[in-house]
Amino acid sequence: MEPGPLTVVAVFRTRAANEMALRTALQAMILPTREEAGCMNYDLHQAEDDPGSFFFHETWESADHHRAHLDTPHVRQLLALTADLLVEPIREFKGRRVE
């Protein structure tokens, strides 16, 4: 495993009818996640061309910090709340800064 910060983009897609419910559930993640150890940034975005698509742009001090985040009560709660809202599984892209 490489040392240093890990960037994650997590993509959530829902139908138009569920857009506000998903948005509310995702917004509830922001404050508790930003308080977690190792969280450098955790920003929620909504796609301009697909309002039912949201994504988090996250940076963690390490992959271990990100793994710990995935095991928090607020992530488990989010997964339970969004199980019926999503039209496809959550997609995650992970990488390290190249420049």
pLDDT in tens, 33-74: 999 999 999 999 999 999 999 999 999 999 999 999 999 999
pLDDT at 15 over 90: yes
6-89 maps to CATH 3.30.70.100: yes
Q: Which residues touch 92 (CB under 8 Å, ≥6 apart)?
A: 8, 9, 10, 11
* Number of neighbours of residue 19 by Cβ within 10 angstroms: 16
pTM of the model: 0.92
